[in-house]
Structure 1
C-alpha cells in the first residue's frame, strides 16, 4: 500500500509499506477513504514529540471501509463504513469502565498517563495511523462505529477527533449560563470549542489567535469576538480590559505545545528533549481567567515538563481540568446537534489533498499558506 512515512523533522514522504495484517483476533483492517491532518500532527512533523520513529505513519483522524476482520470480531463486517475514534482502548479496564477511554490501561506500555493513539509516536503506543491506504484497528468491537446513513463522510472524519475534542474542551470548562468564555487558538479544535460554548450556555465567546484567516472563520463559524494577539502589546491586559478587569469565567487552551514552534522550544524540545513545547498559550490562559474561574486544557502537550505558572493558578483559586478526549463518549450528543442542524463540521474544511501530495499538504498547513485551516487527505484507493 501507499502510506505517509516520517523520515525526520519536516521530512515526510509517501512510500510503499506492507498492508497491515490481523495481529489479534479482535483486530480489523480498514481501507481508508478519508483522513485528515490535525494540528497536533504538526508537533510530530516539527520533531517536538519524543520517540517519533523513522518509518512511522501519522494520522489519527480517519474513516473507511472494513477490509478484513479477525475471528473474534462480532460487531463489524467486511464492507461496513466505519468512523474510528483516535483513542485506542480496550473497553474493560478500570479507566474504560469509567468512560476514560483516552486513559486506557492496556494499550500503551510506554506511558503512565496517555492511552493509545493512532499515528502519534511510541509515547502513545507506537501504532501506525490512517494517513495511508489501509490501517490496522485494534479492539474493533470497542472503538469503531458504523457511520450513520445520514452523515456525510467529511463530517464523520471530523467527529473522530477535531469536533469531539473541541466539544470536550467546552465540557471541561464547565460553562454556566451567561459565562464569558475565552478560547486560545482558532484552529479547528478552537473553532469547535468556541461554537460548542454557545451550545452550553455561554453569554460571550472570545477567540484569540494571530492568523487572520482563522480569526475570520471564528467570526463566521463560531460567531465569536476575535483578538489578534500580535496587534496588542499585552494580550492578557487587553482581555482583562474587555472583561471589566475581572478576567474570563472560563478559559480554553486549544493551542497546546505551540505547533508553529519558537527558537527556544526547538532547542530544548527537538535537540535536548527537555520539554514538550512552549507554555505561552497556557500561561496566557492562566493569567486571563478570573479568580475562581475554570481553565480547560485539551491542547496537546508533550510527556515532559513545561514552565507553567502553576503558582499563579493556585493563588487565583483556578479549577484546572484537562485530558485527551474520550472521543466516543461525545458522539451521542454531537450526533444529536448535527442532526438538528446546530453543527456542520465540514464547514471548517478548506483543503482536500491527495495522499500522494501529503508532504505539500503538511508544508501548507504548517506554514499556514493559502488560508489552510483544516486539510483532509484522500488516499484514492479503488
Structure 2
C-alpha cells in the first residue's frame, strides 16, 4: 500500500509499505477513504516529540471501510463504513470503565499517562496511522463506529479528533451560563472549542491568535470576538481590561506545544529533545483568567518539562482541568447537533490533498500558507 512515511524533521515521503495484517483476533483492517493533517502531526513533523521513529506513518484522524476483521470482532463487519476515534483503547480496564478512553491502561507499554494514539510517536504506543491506504485498528469492537445516517463523510472525519477535542475542551472549562470564555489558538481545535463554548452556555467568547485569516474564521465559524496578540503590547493586560479588570471566567489553551514566539522551544525540542512544549499560551491562560476561574487544557504537550507558572495558578485559586479527549464519549451529542444544523464541523476544511501530494500539504499547513486551516487527505 501507499503510505506517508517519516524520514526526519520536515522530511516526509509517500512510499510503498506492507499492507497491515490482523495481529490479534479483535483487530480490523480499514481501507482509508479520508484522513487529515492535524496540528498535533506538526509536532512530529517538526521533530519536537520524543521517540518519533523513522519509517512511522502519521495520521490519527481517518474514516474508511472495514476490509478484514479478526475472529473475535462482533460489532463491525466487512463492508461497514466507520469513523475511528484517535484514541486506541481496550474498553474494559479501570480507566475505560470510567469513560477515560484516552488513559487506557492496556494499549501503551511506553507511558503511564496517555493511552494509545494512531500515528503518533512511540510515547503513544507506536501505532501506524491513517495517512495511508490502509490501517490496522486494534480493539475494533470498542473503537470504530459505523457512520450514522445524516452524517457526511467530512463531518465524520472532523469528529475523529479536531471538533470532538474542541468540544471536550469547552466541557472541561465547566462553563456557567453567562461566563466569559477566552480561547487561545484559532486552529481547528480552538475554533471548535470557541463554537462549543456557546453550546455550554457562555455569554461571551474571545479568541486569541496572531494570524488574521484564522481570526476571521473565528468570527464566521465561532461567532467570537477576536484579538491579534501580535498587535498587542501585553495580551494579558488587554484581556484584563476587556473583562472589567477581573479576567475571564474560563480560559482554554488550544495551542499546546507550539505557542508562537518561543524560539527556544524549537531549538530545545528539535535538537536536544529537552522540552515537551512552550508554556506561552498556558501561562497567558493562567494570567488572564480571574481568581477562582478555570483553565482548560487540551492543546497537545509532550511528556517532558514545561515551565508553567504553577505558583500563580495556586495563589489565584484556579481549577486546571486537562486531558486528551475521550473522543467517542462526545459523539452521540455531536451527531445530534449536526443533524439539527447547530454545528457543521466540515466548514473548518480549507484544503483537500491527494495522498501522493501530502508532503506539500504538510508544508502548506506548517507554514500557514494559502490560508490553510484544515487539510484533508484523500488516499484513493
Q: State the TM-score bracket (shorter-chain normalisation).
A: over 0.9
Q: Which residue of 2 aligns with 1:15?
A: 15
Partner of 1:275: 275
- Checking the alignment, whether the CA contact within 8 Å between 1:42 and 1:259 is kept in structure 2 is no
Aligned equivalents of 1:319, 1:235: Cα separation in 2: 21
TM-score, L = length of structure 1: 0.99
Q: In 1, Cα distance between the equivalents of 2:34 and 2:93?
A: 31
Asked whether the 8 Å contact 1:43–1:259 carries over to 2, the reply is no
User: Residue 338 of structure 1 corresponds to which residue in structure 2?
Assistant: 338
The alpha-carbon deviation at position 194 of structure 1 amounts to 0.4
* Cα RMSD (Å): 0.8
Structure 1 residues 1-382: aligned runs within 5 Å: 1-258=1-258, 262-380=262-380
Where does the alignment leave 5 or more consecutive residues of structure 2 unmatched? none
Alpha-carbon distance change, 260 to 132 in structure 1, aligned in 2, over 3 angstroms: farther
Count of matched residue pairs: 380
Residue 262 (structure 1) shift: 4.3
Q: Does structure 2 retain, via aligned residues, the 8 Å contact 1:40–1:259?
A: no
Runs of 4+ in 1 over 6 A off after TM superposition: none
Residue 14 of structure 1 aligns to a residue whose secondary structure is strand
Cα offsets for 1:164-205 (capped at 9, x unmatched) = 000000000000000000000000000000000001100000
Distance in 2, matches of 1:4 and 1:272, equals: 25
Task: Provide the rounded CA distance (Å) in 1 between the counterparts of 2:111 and 2:292.
Answer: 32
> Contact between 1:62 and 1:157, CA under 8 Å: does it hold in 2?
yes
Q: Distance in 2 between matches of 1:255 and 1:13?
A: 27
By how many angstroms is 1:336 displaced? 1.2
SS of 2:353's equivalent in the other structure is strand
Decide whether the 8 Å contact of 1:39 with 1:259 is kept in 2: no
Give the Cα–Cα distance (whole angstroms) in 2 for the partners of residues 181 and 103 of structure 1.
27
Kindly indicate whether the alpha-carbon contact (under 8 Å) linking 1:36 and 1:62 is maintained by their aligned counterparts in 2: yes
Alpha carbons of structure 1 residues 262 and 15: separation in structure 2 relative to 1, 3 Å: farther
Contact map agreement 1:87 1:115 (CA 8 A) in 2 = yes
Contact 1:83 1:144 in 2 (8 A): yes
Segments of structure 1 that go 5 or more residues without pairing to the other structure are none
Give the SS at the match of 2:213: helix
Return the offset for 1:267: 2.1
CA distance in 2 between counterparts of 1:158 and 1:293 reads: 30
Cα displacement string for residues 229-276 of structure 1 (whole angstroms, at most 9, x for unaligned residues): 000000110011100110000000000001667431122111111111
Cα pair 1:183 1:194 within 8 Å, conserved: yes
TM-score (norm 2): 0.99
Alpha-carbon contact 2:262-2:280 (below 8 Å) kept = no
